[in-house]
Structure 1
Amino acid sequence: MVHGADGSVATLCLDLDTTKALKGVVDSDAANLRSKLSACGVTFVEDFSPSGGRHLYIPLQERLNASEARELVEALALTAASLDPSPHQNVTDGCIRVPGSAHKSGGHQVLITPLSQAYNVLRNRNPAASIAALRTALAPELARNHALRARQAKTATAQGTAAAHMLQINAGSETALRRTARTGVYDAARYKSPSEARMAVLNHFSACGWTLAQVQNELTGQFPGLAALYGSIEKQNRLLGQEWAKAQTWTQKSDPRERRGKYASINNTSPTQPTGGAPNLSSAAIHQLVNDLENVLYAVLDHRLKDRGREGLSLRFLIRALLAYMRTKETDVLDVGCRTLAAAMGKHHVTIARLLPALVDASEGMLTKVADARHKAADVYLIQLPEQYQQLARELTWRKGKIYSIRPVFRVLGDISALVYEAIERDRHSPTSAEIIRSSGMSRSAVEKALVVMEGLGMIYRDGRRWRISATANLRALAERLGAIEDYQAHISRNRRERAAWHAYLDRFVEVRVDESDLFDPEREEHWTPPDDAALWLAA
């Protein structure tokens, strides 16, 4: 039994189960857990079962109550696809098969750790400091579970079981193919073999715009299940390049943007091409214009928008999203839709549609609407530097770094954390807490709370009285650990479904051009000669 009579735990039991993932994933998870635990100074005992599963035991000097133990194991489960947290989720019946126990499939649990070392680990056990270091290392996963529980608590029903609840938490918005890539477990009713399953996964990644290098990178990262579907490293090295080429060919053939209909619409809604006038701005001119606009944003617009409360906070990020899109596309004429901006900002597209007119009014000529949306085309906006701010923009020094809308990690941490991080990242010197409060225009409690959270996640650190960005912090990896990438992908998928439904609705009202040749073929005899009266009489 894992829990004592009072529900407390003397040993954390990590069960890596082959029913949750393939054996290759179990071995990979075990190696990653060993590395993580050793880095935190945590000692453990390991064994393996005849079925290919593994157990890691972490003995404790000070017992943990059931909720604390469950919290740690569930956080570790987010880093290991094959880790089954259920032994710590059932206080009355949670149990685990210890080394030397008979296995149901035959054989016994075999101890991997040398016996003398295992005896020493179990005798000395792990101090509270080691468990605290482990909890610090798992801060993103702990925060993710807390947020997911709060979200699920709003919709949970009394009939839901704890196991189903945890399954929903762990699964989140993850797609079936991503789950296959993570665990190696696939739907046998849909895919007849591992070959078909991994081709489906590769097709999915190709359609999402991945490169072969990115896929190879994640085989030892967040998607070890895809590597396990190959069976061996030799087979993986031999087939991955060929199968990726097939996936790219299939994706290009099935891309709806490459399809061409037989008939063209009579009502052409494509944007008209310029026929004269001023030439388009060069790439260098666009980047210079964005830099000048950023100066006006930080010096004037931010301070005016901060007085508008929550709406002002959203407007500040909306103008940042437009400037980031402008720099990426290298154009001052933007025809980006509300759903695209909503995905970039982590908002609802209805909110974006409400904020855009407000931003046009508040920007004092920086953002101007020049064309209304028509058919499948979005509203068109022009971004320019107002004349009254041109001298100010030239006098101020350009800031280092890039401007962002909302990076995925801040979809979880919130808009205030994003502004605080930007204030530290793009300031001309490392700011103090008072300077961040003054420049961001937010309350002291909100800023200090954001600083504490980001410091706990290792994103920033305090150097005396000043705050600096941690050079070792990887925001994308942190976003994956917090579940923000899954949320972003779910948002993109939802946008695609809604956009496809809207386009299908619009296509019902599109007239098609029908050529005369499609109604009549001059080489085909279509004249019908009626029979004469004699033939009709004989037939009767």
Structure 2
Amino acid sequence: MVPEPVLTSTHALAGVAQRPRPEDAWSLAPLIAGAPSYRLGRWIGQRFQYPRPKNAPKITRSLPGQPAAVMVHGPDGRVSTLCLDFDTSKALKGVVDSDAVRVGNLLSACGMRFVEDFSPSGGRHLYVPLHDRMDAAEARELVEALALMATSLDPSPHQNITDGCIRVPGTIHKSGGHQTLITPLSQAYDILRRRNAASALMELRSALAPELTRKRALKARAAKTVAGQRNGILPALSLNAGSEAPLRKVARTGLYDTAKYKSPSEARMAVLNHFSACGWSLQHVENELAGQFPGLAALYGSTERQARLLPYEWAKAQTFTNTASSTQKPLPRKHGEKHALINNTSQTLTTGGAGESSSAAAVHQLVNDLENVLYAVLDHRLQARGREGLSLRFLIRGLLGYMRAKETDILDVGCRTLAAAMGKHHVTIARLLPVLVQASDGILTKIADARQKAADVYLIQLPEQYQQLARELAWRKGKIHAIRPVFRALGDAAALVYEAIERGRYSPTTAEVVRISGVSRNACSAALAEMEALGMIQRQDGTWRNTSVNLRMLAARLGVLDDYLDHIRRNRHERAIWHSYLDRFKTLQGVITEGELFDPERDEYWPPPHDAAVWHLPQPA
């Protein structure tokens, strides 16, 4: 169950001057509708619906005497107006208002004009008239892309060609009152008669390139899953398929289970406790209130209330999580025994096989030398391995990233941890690690096998044959990245191409990018085109250079964080199965510690939203 949204008087909505009469606002209906007819609404069971009549009434100047909705699609399956419905059933009114403002600003930035109204329930409608009628599939793709950036946007009117409909200004609402026009009536007439040109629509498509790319990837993944289920390759229902963490949904929409949380205050504290346990800071929370979690801001009710309560509640959340972590009972262990892994967030301890590791400064210098050797020698050797070589090149980068972050040359990192950081399957990582040991020419050496909950242990060193080369090469200025979040969606080839442009001493041409990155010409051209469409790079005078686009924000728009959370959820489930199997051989039976209890909300880990977050490989200092 979800709480009823707090309703505010629509008569006090800012920006509405002298409102037109409902009869006058209804005169805009034929300019919005895709077909010259409408449907009357009525209650059917517990739902208010607009059933398909035998003879749909035609739109006339007379305002219908009961709730009515015009058809979005015409008889030819095309639409003349994009109808954006921001619904309070999907999120709180505060989220609806912020989503409408965000989408409106995007439309205005693309040169598109629109008409806006609001309903007595707090919902908002934006009507975007088009000069050229658009195919239903094309309109649906565009509206679904907008829905990825606006939580409260309901794309269903554009998802049903035969029954998609929407209430227009002036119509009666099911709860009483009318759809109230926000845009002045004369201006609304002008917008609907002088409709948006195709050039503005192209601007909107360009601005929504990340969301369109993400939507196509989701559809392709869904089609692959359905095909696998039909062929018997995949089970009918996979674990947590398409699910979302409960607290994440609360933070995104502001809707919560009233059986679990009695008030918005309790729901807010649950979300803040989780943020605190995941290592967030108050600055992170404040930044995301206007970003991916507007529902948390809506739970405060007003900006003044949020500014007053957020610091206080955040301090309480930090106190609660610190107290809970300090009072948690440790796992039982024998006296003097060291465990390679205490829990999922503890510092990794090696299982033996080597002496004391080097100092932190020595490790950083060693990583700098190894990076020079990597770019000078190892990268060129791995290029000859084709597609496998791409994965190997980023696997060694990932290991060097962990080496720098942990400040040790002895790594005890599991395949699933590397797979989650690199966006690959853990079986792929397990297959590539022995290959990398052989291909690294002594840089990577396995010194201990995995045992029970402990992973394989590897030693990373600078072989004697490369020591002279490392002394002769100067350390490069700037960061050397492993897998940044955005390239979980774009792939290894795009990451290498971007790296070649980013690390170049000058802006390279396409031929130089191919040579520097070691990627084939076709793969390089495809990666350049995709990154240019996303605004990551631009071409000037035949050379390529980076833009100032925020890669973290772009990764969020591409849905990388959702994929990462699904990956972590799957890894936790598989680890739980393995640990349960190991527990069968414990001599001590019947003892359950607090750390072994399963909490479906605590289990979902949200990393802080900054460039050095733990949901991708750590960056060099």
TM-score by length of 2: 0.76
Specify the alignment match of 2:141 in structure 1.
71
Matched, 1:114 2:184: yes
Matches within 5 A, 1:215-230: 215-230=285-300
Task: Tell me what 2:546 maps to.
Answer: 469
Distance 1:15 1:255, change over 3 A: same
Report how far residue 466 of structure 1 moved.
Answer: 1.4
Q: What is the aligned partner in structure 1 of residue 565 from structure 2?
A: 489
The Cα of 1:19 is off from its aligned counterpart by 0.7
Rounded to whole Å, the distance in 1 between the matches of 2:85 and 2:203 is 21
Equivalent position of 2:283 in the other structure: 213
CA shift in 2, pair 1:172/1:403, >3 Å: farther
Deviations for 1:152-202, whole angstroms, at most 9, x for unmatched residues?
Answer: 112338999xxxxxxx9xx95532221221111122333232222222222
Tell me which amino acid in the other structure corresponds to 2:78. Answer: S
CA distance in 2, matches of 1:406, 1:39: 32
Alignment of 1:50-89 (within 5 A): 50-89=120-159
Residues 351 and 448 of structure 2 are in contact (CA less than 8 Å); yes or no, is this contact kept in structure 1? Answer: no
Counterpart in the other structure of 1:185: 255
Matches within 5 A, 1:512-523: none
CA distance in 2, matches of 1:387, 1:205: 46
Change (3 A) 1:272 1:440: closer
Q: CA deviation at 1:347?
A: 1.1
Structure 2 residue aligned with 1:351: 428
What secondary structure does 2:376 align onto?
helix
Structure 1 residue 123 and structure 2 residue 193: aligned? yes
User: Paired residue for 1:401?
Assistant: 478
Answer yes or no: is 1:448 the counterpart of 2:525. yes
1: CA distance, partners of 2:513 / 2:332 = 59
Q: Structure 1 residues 484 and 225, CA, compared in 2 at 3 Å: closer, same or farther?
A: same
**Structure 1 counterpart of 2:149, which letter?**
T
Question: Which whole-Å CA distance do the structure 1 matches of 2:294 and 2:228 have between them?
Answer: 36
Q: Structure 1 residue 371 and structure 2 residue 441: aligned?
A: no
2:100 alignment counterpart: 30
Consecutive aligned runs of 4 or more in structure 1 exceeding 6 Å deviation: 157-160
Q: What is the alpha-carbon distance in structure 2 between the residues aligned to residue 376 and residue 265 of structure 1? A: 19
Q: Is the 8 A contact 1:269 1:375 kept in 2?
A: no
Counterpart for residue 506 of structure 1:
582
Please give the secondary structure, in 1, of the residue aligned with 2:160: coil
Cα pair 1:425 1:469 within 8 Å, conserved: yes
Q: How far off is 1:268 after superposition? A: 4.6
- Report whether the alignment pairs 1:332 with 2:402: no
Displacement of 1:211: 1.3
The code of the aligned residue for 1:353 comes to: A
The 3 A distance-change label for structure 1 pair 272 and 444 is closer
Q: Does the residue aligned with 1:156 lie in a helix, a strand or coil?
A: helix
Contact residue 437 and residue 443 of structure 1 kept, 8 A: yes
Partner of 2:460: 383
- Please tell me whether the aligned partners of residues 266 and 512 of structure 1 are also in contact (alpha carbons under 8 angstroms): no
Describe the SS at the equivalent of 1:46: strand
**2: distance between equivalents of 1:261 and 1:317?**
36
Q: How far apart, in 1, do the equivalents of 2:218 and 2:80 lie?
A: 27
Which residue in 2 is equivalent to 1:243?
313
Cα distance in 2, alignment partners of residues 382 and 158 from structure 1? 40
Question: For the residues of structure 2 that align with 1:90 and 1:81, how far apart are their CA atoms?
Answer: 20
Task: Answer with 82-91 or 328-337: which moved more.
Answer: 328-337
Cα pair distance change 1:273/1:172, threshold 3 Å: closer
Query: Which residue number in structure 2 is paired with residue 527 of structure 1?
Result: none
The separation in 2 between residues aligned to 1:503 and 1:404, in whole angstroms, is 33
Distance in 2 of aligned mates of 1:8 and 1:130: 19
1:16 pairs with one of 86, 102, 112: 86
How many angstroms apart in 2 are the aligned matches of 1:193 and 1:388? 66
Q: Distance in 1 between matches of 2:255 and 2:224?
A: 30
Letter in 2 for 1:69: A
The one-letter amino acid of 1:409's match is V
Q: 1:378 and 1:253, CA in 2 relative to 1: closer, same or farther beyond 3 A?
A: farther
Equivalents in 2 of 1:257, 1:386: separation in Å? 46
State the match for 1:413 in structure 2. 490
Structure with bigger gyration radius: 1
Q: Quick one: distance in 2 between partners of 1:263 and 1:146?
A: 50
Partner residue, 1:311: 388
Partner deviation per Cα, 1:386-417 (whole Å, 9 max, x = no partner): 11112222222322322222211111111111
1:284 partnered with 2:354: no
Q: Could you tell me how far apart the structure 1 residues matched to 2:541 and 2:499 are?
A: 20
The CA distance in 2 between the partners of 1:501 and 1:212, in whole Å, is 35
Contact 2:418 2:429 in 1 (8 A): yes
The structure that is helix-richer by fraction is: 1
Q: Which moved more, 1:131-140 or 1:459-468?
A: 459-468
Tell me the CA shift for residue 286 of structure 1: 2.1
CA contact (8 A) 2:350 2:411 kept: no
The runs of 5 or more residues in structure 1 that have no matched partner are 161-167, 514-540
User: Residue by residue, what CA displacement relative to the aligned partner does 1:125-155 show, whole Å, maximum 9, x if unpaired?
Assistant: 1111111000100000000001100111123
Distance 2:350 2:379 in 1: 35
Distance 1:265 1:282, change over 3 A: closer
Query: In 2, distance between residues paired with 1:257 and 1:362?
Result: 47
Spell out, residue by residue over 1:437-462, the C-alpha distance to the aligned partner (whole angstroms, 9 max, x if none): 11222211110000000000000111
Structure 2: tracts of 5 or more residues without a match: 1-70, 231-237, 341-348, 590-621
What is the aligned counterpart of 1:44 among 92, 101, 114?
Answer: 114
Q: After the TM superposition, which residues 161-172 of structure 1 pair with which residues of structure 2 at under 5 Å, given as runs?
A: 172=242
Partner AA of 2:362 in structure 1 = A
TM-score by length of 1: 0.87
How many residues were matched structurally? 502
Contact 1:399 1:426 in 2 (8 A): no
The share of aligned pairs that are identical, in percent, is 71
| Residue deviations 1:306-363 (CA, integer Å, cap 9, x gap) | 1112222111111000011111122212111111111111111122122111111110
CA distance in 1, matches of 2:550, 2:336: 51
Report if the CA contact (8 A) 2:350-2:410 is conserved: no
Cα distance change, pair 337–141 in 1 and its aligned pair in 2 (3 A): same
